[in-house]
Amino acid sequence: MEVQQLYTNCLSEAAYFIASNGEAAVIDPLRDVDTYISMAEERGVQIKYIFETHFHADFVSGHLDLAKKTGATIVYGPDTRAAFNPHVAKDGEVFTLGDITITAMHTPGHTLESTCYLLKNEQGEPYCIFTGDTLFVGDVGRPDLFSGNMTKEELAAMMYDSLNNKIKPLNDNIIVYPAHGPGSACGKSLGPETFSTIGTQKATNYALRNMSKEEFIKEVTTGLNTPPAYFPLNAKINQQGYESLDDVYVNGLQPLSIASFKEKAEAGAWILDTRASSVFTQGFVPESISIGLDGRFAEWAGTLLPLQQELILVTEEGKEKESVTRLARVGIDNIQGYLAGGYEAWQAAGEQIDMIIDVEPDELAMDYDHDERLEVLDVRKPSEYEAGHVKGAISMPLDTMMDPLNIATLEDESNIYVHCAGGYRSVIAASLIKRQGLHNLRNVLGGYGKIKMEKIPIETAAKAKA
């Protein structure tokens, strides 16, 4: 028996490959399925099942393409309604895979169809459980996403029953393999590990402590941030179906001459630059949006870019396919090609370029008390801003900045210093501000992490209100 976790940091997502005696299963696959097919070929096994724990909201799953390419059966849990024809498992249904078994355990709460899968080894003993978004390390799945007309309180009540009746009675030594790890927006505050045990979670996870249903509902529905806008769209894509990734590659991997690139941009395509944020600031095609592959690329692309918007790409040479693949993972399929030769070709041809001035925090410190036109723009989350920020800084979270009315509140004559926590989000923000025609700005290197080490006044939200 082999159980392998395939973790994707960009999405904080875990898929799983399971093999036993010539047969294999994949749990919660990403859209780019060639990895799983290659793993099966290398091991000489046939993929028999594709188990989905629920309709994922934060990425487009690979269930349809993988089933088409391998003939595997797609399995969802009870109460599943889809535009295709999966095998809808009964609660407690047992699936044989080589010398092991996998049992479907219906655990509604995160969504109505949410289902965990309990794996028993060759000796028939429970070995691990794939918990999807029902149980994370240190957290549980949020109950306010894609579940029809049900309220978050109604779903939280179902989650309470699922955890107490299905999860907590399991043996302490059973390994917990969740669908997400730290940084995921599918829960409130996931722990740093990507797997655990039932015993550890019963001892440390706030949602598994003994409490009344009313207490639990209040606990899991309090403090939820607004989910990214693409979440319900991705859930619907997973439920209703999508274009094959192979077809997305046909359009997305077209090399475009400078003339063709300019023609598409003038016709309304948005320019997305996926090079590292530190490279982007040194020079870029005017009006480009920077979302670098070096950060939480797919999540920010899904948050900021309309799913059907035509895109043309500027990438590091050799990163064209990776850029298209990672966009497709969150349902961004309308990619019309990439600039052949990249930014270097554009620059060598003498085309107009733009750039963003990078400054160290000590320069901000020197200007803070002496520049009357200085404005500090903090693009971190509200919770980060409230915990501590530069005195007088404007809070404009990055996920709100595609609304041009927000950027319009910035003054043309201001000297704008943009920062986030470490530097990645601030470059995205600076590119959006530049795209709206404001150019008197600077990107603060190292973000708030380095700013607070300088002699710059810092305050919390409580002090700011006092």
CATH number reported for the structural domain that contains residue 321 in this entry: 3.40.250.10
229 and 102 inside one domain: yes
Q: Which two tokens stand for residue 190?
A: 């996931």
Between 6 and 225, the more confident residue is: 6
pTM of the model: 0.93
In terms of C-beta distances under 8 Å and separation of at least 24 residues, what long-range contacts does 305-308 make, across chains too? 305/270, 305/272, 305/332, 307/230, 307/233, 307/331, 307/332, 307/333, 307/334, 308/334
Per-residue pLDDT tens digits for 209-256: 999 999 999 999 998 888 888 998 999 999 999 999 999 999 999 999
- Name the helix (H) or strand (E) containing 44: none
Chain centroid to CA 247: how far? 23
Give the N- to C-terminal CA distance of the chain in Å, as an integer: 61
Residue 354: what pLDDT?
97
Together in a domain, 379 and 457: yes
Sign of CA dihedral 259, 260, 261, 264: positive
Q: What is the CATH number of the domain that holds 49?
A: 3.60.15.10
Rounded to 5°, the CA angle 5-143-298 comes to 50
> Tens digits of per-residue pLDDT, 52-73?
999 999 999 999 999 999 999 9
DSSP string, 421-461: SSSHHHHHHHHHHHHTT---EEEETTHHHHHTTSS--EE-H
Condensed to tens digits (0 to 9), the pLDDT of residues 311-355 reads 999 999 999 999 999 999 999 999 999 999 999 999 999 999 999
Q: What are residue 96's DSSP bridge partners?
A: 101
Question: How far apart are the C-alpha atoms of 155 and 163, rounded to whole Å?
Answer: 12
Q: Is 123 exposed, middle or buried (0-12, 13-18, 19+ CB in 10 A)?
A: exposed
pLDDT confidence bin for 146, thresholds 50/70/90:
low
Q: Domain boundary residue among 233, 254, 284?
A: 233
Tell me the three state secondary structure of residue 241: coil
Does residue 454 belong to any structural domain of this protein?
A: yes
pLDDT single digits (tens) 181-216:
998 988 888 999 999 999 999 999 999 999 999 999
- The parent domain of residue 302 ranges over 244-348
Residue matched to tokens 């969150």: 330
Task: Indicate whether 239 belongs to any domain.
Answer: no
Q: In the chain, what percentage of residues exceed pLDDT 70?
A: 98
Question: In this predicted model, what pLDDT tens digit does every residue of 99-126 receive, in sequence order?
Answer: 999 999 999 999 999 999 999 999 999 9
Average pLDDT, the chain: 95
* Residues ≥6 apart with Cβ < 8 Å to 262: none
